[in-house]
Amino acid sequence: MVNECVILAESPDTLIELCGISALERLLRTLQRCGIERATVLSSTPNAIAQELAAPSWARAQLHVTIRVRPGGAVTIEQIVDNWPDNRSETPLLLIVPAHSVFDPRLLRALVAQDSPAALVDSGVGPRIQALGASAPDTAGGKLCGPVLLENDWASARSGSFEQVLRGGLEDHSLPALDVSAQPLYYVSMCRKLRPFWFPVPSLSNRKLAERVLLDSIQKGPPDIPAWVHAPIETFLVSFLCKTPITPNQLTLFCNVVAWTVTILLVTGHLAWGLGLALIVGVLDGLDGKLARLKLETSKAGKLEHLFDALFENSWWLALAWHLSVSGKLPDAFSYLVLLIGAEITNALARASIVRYYGKSISELASFDRIFRLVGGRRNIYVWILALGLILGTVAGAFKLIAWWEAVTAAIQLARVAWALWALRRQKSAAG
């Protein structure tokens, strides 16, 4: 896999901010997450670029960046060759990428995973980014997106404008194309279908459109019913939070403080306040992940958020069971607690088996699973049920309902998993 690149960066385009970070900073963070270890920034405006890179950024700290000066005017292929890493025999392929564009991480990952030269093109620009991609150069294979993986011998044998060389290589087929339109739509980590996006840094009139594309790309799917309400609120809040110094980890900490406050309120019998805050946690819990994905501030430590979620979620059910039991409202509340948690564990194992063998979530297996996801047992649905039970004066009945709801969810998903794994084995047997 390629681990070095040359970045073409010029002020002011590469310093334009989208959702709180500049195009250059966004590119560097993306490249680090694609396995790039060393980057040479080639620029005719090195002072402005150096000032931008001088700001500390843990999100790209593992990427070693060097700035080199080039003459003004259009970038030439000779300048690319002159700035090839010294160990040319060990670096036959080099990624060259413009910093005045924004790229879906999947596209750069696909390009650096190539073992032969390729240029990223888009033969059918999607309607989402049509207005944004209009200024990109046209080639015989579609729009030239910018990033290209070049071989030293091929590049050394050519001269002239870098863009013209790329277009010529695509037209005479000496430079293969990697077509955006041919890339998989399913985004595994986001559990949804999403066409990979790319676009040059937009003009002021298109800035909001570009930010909408970025904000849409951070929404996981498929949603449950509460998420229909939560998602637009989360996105609205993140669109402002991304332009502040607030970090995803700070949001995680704040959410957990509020969540454990819910536990205290529930165990002490302050159900109205507790469930009210639990409804708010449903929104807060989505902010840190969305902000991290939007600003490319994801980290290995961030994966612990799911563990924290499971801890405070089960503390809510334990707190409710304790209160309902000692208050006499539901003497056998702990029996329902065992049913609820046991079914949750069973459900989690069933979902994990589908991810392991199919590489996607169970809710993406078929239309039935996507529809079932809307109402299947989940924390946010249970909080809504408990809040309704509080309004109707029957929290004990609501607690029993969520325990049975989770049991039914687990039973249905176990049946779906059994069928899916059987179908997969049958398919492999037929193929064998």
Domains in the chain (CATH in brackets) are 4-200 (3.90.550.10), 218-431 (1.20.120.1760)
Residue 165 scores a pLDDT above 70: yes
Residue 325 confidence class, pLDDT cut points 50, 70, 90: very high
Question: What's the predicted TM-score (pTM) here?
Answer: 0.91
The pair of structure tokens assigned to 128 is: 């989402």
Residue 359 scores a pLDDT above 90: no
Beta partners for residue 225, in sequence order: none
Q: Give the helix/strand (H/E) hosting 193.
A: strand 192-193
How many other C-beta atoms lie within 10 A of the C-beta of residue 367? 7
Q: From CA 217, how far away is CA 239, in angstroms rounded?
A: 13
| pLDDT average, residue stretch 324-336 | 96
The pLDDT of residue 362: 86
Residue-wise pLDDT tens digits, 44-75: 999 999 999 999 999 999 999 999 999 989 99
Instruction: Check residues 1 and 115 and name the one with the higher pLDDT.
Output: 115
Mark out the alpha helices in 327-394 (DSSP H runs): 333-358, 367-375, 379-391
The pair of structure tokens assigned to 381 is: 């649905």
Residue 12: cis peptide before it, omega within 30 degrees of 0: yes
The pLDDT of residue 301: 65
The pLDDT of residue 213: 96
Residue-wise pLDDT tens digits, 196-238: 999 999 988 899 999 999 999 999 887 788 988 999 999 999 9
Residue 1 scores a pLDDT above 80: no
Range with the poorest average pLDDT among 45-59, 78-92, 131-145, 338-352: 78-92
Instruction: Check residues 355 and 67 and name the one with the higher pLDDT.
Output: 67
- DSSP code for 137: P
Residue-wise pLDDT tens digits, 247-300: 999 999 999 999 999 999 999 999 999 999 999 999 999 999 999 999 999 876
The pLDDT of residue 88: 65
Q: From CA 74, how far away is CA 154, in angstroms rounded?
A: 20
| pLDDT average, residue stretch 73-99 | 88
The pLDDT of residue 89: 64
| pLDDT average, residue stretch 106-110 | 95
Residue 431 confidence class, pLDDT cut points 50, 70, 90: confident
Contacts by residues 278-284 (CB-CB < 8 Å, ≥ 24 positions apart): 278/316, 278/383, 278/386, 278/387, 279/383, 279/384, 279/387, 281/255, 281/383, 282/226, 282/230, 282/379, 282/380, 282/383, 283/230, 283/233, 283/234, 283/237, 284/251, 284/254, 284/255, 284/258
Beta partners for residue 121, in sequence order: 144, 179
